[in-house]
Structure 1
Amino acid sequence: MRVAIFASGNGSNFEIFADLFEKKELQGELALLFCDHPDALVVERAKKHRVAVETFTVKAVGGKRIYEEKIAEILKQYKIDFIILAGYLRVIGAPILDNYEGRIVNLHPAYLPEYPGLHSIERAFDDQKKQTGVTVHYIDSGLDSGPIIAQKRVPIFEDDTIESLEARIHACEHKLYPEVVKSILNELIEKGE
């Protein structure tokens, strides 16, 4: 099972997955990082872990459709079987979805269907909710609308700041996401898919 991670920024979730693959706590091989921001910190993290990196922007290749087609071609070249989105801040388009239906998972920092899209933590905080959460789901053509695999609630305390809430959400993500991915990869490998 050859796995690609898509990320756009710092790469804290990438780091966790890279460590788990290296320790053989996740079955398969972390074969590729794709990043849509060539200067993102996650690119350096991937190099440190000796993971192949492909990175380019929509603008650099001439538009969204060409961008998606180029990624789809790269995924074929690397013989990728499964995709983990780890802070990848773009909607996945048809050229990729068509080849990876049911094989792309995403982590969202809210209890979907609450707060889809960007700035989920801030929106829940600003709305003075009592709780938010974390969701792992499959990707479809919508915005954070794919089938939900697992969710966990995270309380919002009266004395919380955005920073303290983000820290608790990230702690929850860093536990839940690897557990879910491990289960999915194990099942796919056992089925020989």
Structure 2
Amino acid sequence: MGNVDRDFALISPNISLVDVPLPRRAKLGILASGSGSNYGAIAAAIEAGELNADIPVLICNKPRAKVLERAAKFGTKTQLLNHREFDSREALDEAILACFREHGVEWVIMAGWMRIVTDVLLKGYENRILNIHPSILPSFKGIRAIEQALAAQVKVTGCSVHFASLEVDSGEIVMQAAVPIAPNDTAETLHARIQAQEHRIFPTAIALAIRDSEQ
């Protein structure tokens, strides 16, 4: 069960990144709270010339998050907006919106962003905010989705790229991948295999959403 290719089953749509060339470079603003592995997959796809985009800025809400180190290696400019220094979710989103607009961001990519977004950001980038979630939505929304799947004893879980909405993990789905659950899986082993598929579909889903929005 540890083989990435064997684990992978694309649910929808059946398309790869090479099938979605973008006619112009899109400007992506990244939101990340943790290690930044999904940001890394996106940045690597850009660096390889596979995703026609730039990342003018990455916003992080945690001062010691590993994503800040990862961003430095890719040469991506970062902005720390510690959520603890804001009086409300709306105030944080106003600061995010201002930063992204200053840098000419066209699409917002939530790459492991552990904060609920508000109407401030959703209206500022209407239908232009994408999120990644470690389940086959609409199953297992919210936090600890992998633990939820294991507790439910399902045979298959996976990941979904979807548009952000006020209701958590409920926006329109762009792309999904399935990952089988092994009898001896733990949250850690299953997470690693799901994450491998997140890295695989996220850049493609971004390109697909951008292309479809401009047709």
- Is TM (by shorter chain) over 0.5? yes
Q: Residue 18 of structure 1 contacts residue 49 of structure 1 at CA under 8 Å; is this kept in 2?
A: yes
Deviation at 1:148? Answer: 1.0
Pairing of 1:77-156 with structure 2 (within 5 A): 77-156=102-181
| Count of residue correspondences | 190
Instruction: Select between 73-82 and 151-160 the one with higher mean Cα deviation.
Output: 151-160
Cα distance in structure 1, aligned partners of 2:48 and 2:71: 16
Q: What percent identity do the matched residue pairs reach? A: 35
* 1:68 match: 93
**1:42 paired residue among 57, 62, 67:** 67
* 2:79 match: 54
Q: Deviations over 1:138-187 (max 9, x none)?
A: 11111101011122221112122222211211111111112211223345
CA RMSD of aligned residues (A): 1.5
Cα distance in structure 2, aligned partners of 1:52 and 1:177: 21
**Amino acid in the other structure paired with 2:70:** R
Cα distance in structure 1, aligned partners of 2:48 and 2:210: 15
Pairing of 1:156-171 with structure 2 (within 5 A): 156-171=181-196
Instruction: Compute the TM-score of the two structures, normalised by the length of structure 2.
Output: 0.83
Pairing of 1:26-37 with structure 2 (within 5 A): 26-37=51-62
Cα distance in structure 1, aligned partners of 2:194 and 2:97: 31
What secondary structure, in the 3-state scheme, does the structure 2 residue paired with 1:98 have? helix
Q: Deviations over 1:83-125 (max 9, x none)?
A: 1111111111111111211111111100111111110001111
Unpaired segments ≥5 residues, structure 1: none
What secondary structure, in the 3-state scheme, does the structure 2 residue paired with 1:46 have? helix
Cα distance in structure 2, aligned partners of 1:125 and 1:166: 11
Cα distance in structure 1, aligned partners of 2:47 and 2:179: 30
Instruction: Select between 90-99 and 19-28 the one with higher mean Cα deviation.
Output: 19-28
**Amino acid in the other structure paired with 1:143:** V
**2:197 paired residue among 169, 172, 177:** 172
**Amino acid in the other structure paired with 2:80:** T
**Amino acid in the other structure paired with 1:100:** Y
**Amino acid in the other structure paired with 1:181:** I
Cα distance in structure 1, aligned partners of 2:148 and 2:62: 25
Cα distance in structure 1, aligned partners of 2:187 and 2:27: 36
Instruction: Compute the TM-score of the two structures, normalised by the length of structure 1.
Output: 0.92
Q: Residue 27 of structure 1 contacts residue 186 of structure 1 at CA under 8 Å; is this kept in 2?
A: no
Instruction: Select between 61-70 and 178-187 the one with higher mean Cα deviation.
Output: 178-187
Instruction: Select between 13-22 and 56-65 the one with higher mean Cα deviation.
Output: 56-65
